[in-house]
């Protein structure tokens, strides 16, 4: 019996079925990967960002002092910073502004959540007075004002986005369409991998950075619980684990992830090696100027710094 006839005598279905069963998950995964992967359009810009953080290896946290204000950004420039990180939020009527907390209580003379305030209402509040009498009258800046100032001062602007995924992604698309140069000095950092993915998908030319901290969605910095409802708090660790898995094993396969922001107390050689192998530069957050100075004597990594006022 020839080989050919043996071959044809085999029940081809019986032969192919296990083959298809074995391959299809991989084929499916690969198709999914090709479908979801955002093509790299950021290489040139990554270099600009890398140079900015390497030549003066610090980024001013929350803009500067007072935090998330135009004066704060000017102070960062005055102190020689090449990049500032600010927080993006939206008012009730949809204006993009700089604010860290959901509420204006801590940083202004007013009270309430930003999402319940119109831009006109938020603009009336004083966002400087709590940081010192000399800052009285500081107004909440719009994103556009911050962008214009950073352009004027030749600063890299990194937006920390925590909410309003779609709205933020769409807004950045519109802004980049209006001013194609914008993407050269604008980047996005977030704790939310889905948000980063959406931003990258909508704006493949924006430089993205994933911020990470162990149990970020379960515990606050001061060790208090993150959520009001017990069941949310109980589910939070599972969310944290899922986010961590996505950050470490999925996100950088789908989008360019030139930077990751790691919390200063969680840096170790294994983590540095892990991200180096994946082509992501590690940025450390966050510490005061003194601490950053000491830190950088031993660890040569860019740091996000809480800057202090000039007269201190």
Binding site for ligand NAG (CB under 6 A): 103, 105, 111
CB of residue 169 to ligand NAG, shortest distance in Å: 26
* Minimal distance, residue 101 CB to ligand NAG, in Å: 7
Pick the closer one to ligand NAG by CB: 110 or 309: 110
Which is nearer to ligand NAG, 117 or 186 (by Cβ)? 117
Query: What distance in Å separates the CA atoms of residue 187 and residue 165, rounded to the nearest whole number?
Result: 15
To ligand NAG, the closest distance from the beta carbon of 103 in angstroms equals: 4
**Could you tell me if 278 and 212 are in contact, meaning their C-beta atoms sit under 8 angstroms apart?**
no
Nearest to ligand NAG of 117, 206 (CB atom) = 117
Q: Which is nearer to ligand NAG, 40 or 111 (CB)?
A: 111
Smallest distance, ligand NAG to C-beta of residue 259, A? 30
Nearer to ligand NAG, 44 or 115 (CB): 115
E strand or H helix that includes residue 96: strand 96-98
Question: Sign (positive/negative) of CA torsion 209, 258, 242, 303?
Answer: negative
With tokens 């084929």, the residue in question is 27
Relative to beta strand 96-98, strand 83-90 is antiparallel
Q: How far is CA 3 from CA 12, 18, 42, in A?
A: 15, 22, 54
Q: How far is the CB of 111 from ligand NAG (least distance, A)?
A: 4
Judge contact between 129 and 104, C-beta under 8 A.
no
Q: What pairing do the DSSP bridges indicate for beta strands 207-212 and 186-190?
A: parallel
SS3 41: coil
Q: What is the CA radius of gyration of the chain?
A: 23
- Least CB distance to ligand NAG at residue 140 (A): 16
Find the helix or strand (DSSP H, E) in which 84 lies.
strand 83-90
The tokens of 312 are what? 């201190």
Q: Which is nearer to ligand NAG, 108 or 202 (CB)?
A: 108
């Amino acid at each position: 019996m020839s080989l050919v006839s043996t071959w044809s005598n085999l029940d081809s279905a019986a032969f192919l079925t296990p083959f298809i069963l074995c391959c299809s998950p991989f084929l499916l995964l690969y198709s999914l990967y090709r479908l979801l992967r955002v093509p790299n359009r950021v290489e040139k810009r990554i270099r600009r960002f890398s140079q900015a953080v390497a030549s003066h290896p610090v980024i001013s946290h929350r803009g500067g002092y007072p935090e998330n204000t135009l004066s704060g950004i000017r102070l960062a420039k005055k102190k020689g910073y090449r990049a500032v990180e600010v927080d993006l939020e939206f008012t009730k009527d949809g204006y993009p502004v700089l604010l860290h907390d959901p509420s204006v209580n801590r940083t202004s003379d007013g009270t309430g959540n930003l999402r319940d305030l119109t831009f006109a209402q938020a603009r009336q509040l004083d966002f400087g007075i709590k940081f010192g009498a000399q800052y009285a009258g500081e107004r909440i800046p719009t994103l556009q004002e911050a962008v214009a100032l950073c352009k004027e001062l030749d600063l890299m602007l990194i937006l920390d986005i925590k909410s309003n995924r779609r709205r933020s992604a769409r807004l950045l698309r519109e802004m980049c369409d209006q001013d194609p140069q914008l993407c050269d000095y604008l980047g996005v950092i977030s704790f939310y991998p889905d948000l980063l993915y959406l931003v990258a998908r909508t704006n493949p030319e924006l430089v993205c950075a994933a911020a990470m901290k162990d149990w970020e969605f379960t515990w606050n910095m001061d060790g208090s619980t993150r959520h009001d409802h017990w069941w949310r708090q109980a589910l939070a660790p599972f969310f944290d684990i899922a986010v961590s898995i996505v950050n470490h094993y999925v996100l950088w396969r789908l989008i360019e992830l030139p930077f990751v922001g790691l919390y200063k107390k969680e840096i170790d050689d294994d983590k540095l090696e892990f991200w180096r192998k994946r082509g992501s530069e590690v940025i450390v957050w966050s510490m005061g100027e003194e601490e950053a100075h000491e830190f950088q004597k031993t660890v040569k990594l860019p740091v996000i710094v809480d800057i202090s006022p000039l007269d201190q």
